[in-house]
Structure 1
């Protein structure tokens, strides 16, 4: 088979580091610098999934040795996760992680039921700001804000 056979057998070792590490590293640095959070989601999810793949490989390496196609399957999956045409990592986040994993939804039981409902609807960053507001001005001030917002919503 010669040179082409050797290249085909070692394709994962030749392009794998670029696909799985170098390009995602570059794209992650660009995402940090950009004002959009969409690319942050893509690349944070990619690194999370890549970590899971690596942990899986480290845990199951004896079994994976018996599957000669594993490196190629991993390469194709990582290509799907990484390539901007597919944005596979963002797809997995939107369709699986966000639906089934609820992180940051805990709200302290010290708030009233109405306040807890409002706080649970907020993003984690907004909730932190509101909790700081409550700490500074008291929960009564937050209750007044909720009532004023409810009145305003009824008008429209």
Structure 2
């Protein structure tokens, strides 16, 4: 019975990296090589959410340490985000992240010609500010 628990403990420690990193890495590469955009959105959304989740987990580490089944909860949540049957990361991004971005004016419709013109104008404005800052800094330093 002791050997069974040892094997289960090692499988448990391999399940996290396999679910959170190895499979998503493989699927992301496959998505980049495919012609469809749908899988690209799924995996880009996954990496955005996984990065955010990891940062929040690091910030709350002292609290999460006291939750005995935190690792299992995290694995189930990440499995839901990863598995293509659920498309959890695309769902969370669509329902929560994109809505917040739209609410704060950060997301724009790429099909709209006016938003493209506005984006180009704002990029040009930022570029001009940066160039003038760099030129001014060079004059001051010389």
Normalised by the length of structure 2, the TM-score is 0.69
1 CA distance for matches of 2:33 and 2:112? 19
1:42 aligned partner: 42
* Partner residue, 1:24: 24
Q: Please tell me whether residue 104 in structure 1 is matched to residue 116 in structure 2.
A: no
What residue is the counterpart of 1:141 in the other structure? none
Q: Which 5+ residue runs of structure 2 have no aligned equivalent?
A: 121-142
- Following superposition, the deviation at residue 128 of structure 1 comes to 3.2
CA distance in 1, matches of 2:112, 2:11: 43
Confirm or deny: 8 A CA contact 2:101 2:107 kept in the other structure.
no
| Structure 1 contact 12–75 (Cα < 8 Å) conserved | no
Larger Rg: 1 or 2? 1
CA 131–75 in structure 1, closer or farther in 2 if over 3 Å, else same: closer
CA RMSD of aligned residues (A): 2.4
Give me the whole-angstrom Cα distance separating, in 1, the residues matched to 2:58 and 2:92: 22
The equivalent position to 1:123 in structure 2, one of 89, 98, 110, is 110
Higher relative contact order (CA 8 A, sep 6+): 2
**In the TM superposition, what whole-angstrom CA distance separates every residue of 1:63-102 from its partner, at most 9, and x where no partner exists?**
1111120111000001000011111001112222222322
Aligned equivalents of 1:124, 1:15: Cα separation in 2: 41
| Consecutive unaligned residues in structure 1, runs of 5 or more | 106-121, 133-156
Q: TM-score, normalised by structure 1?
A: 0.64
1:78-132 deviation line (CA, Å, top 9, x unaligned): 1000011111001112222222322234xxxxxxxxxxxxxxxx41785437877
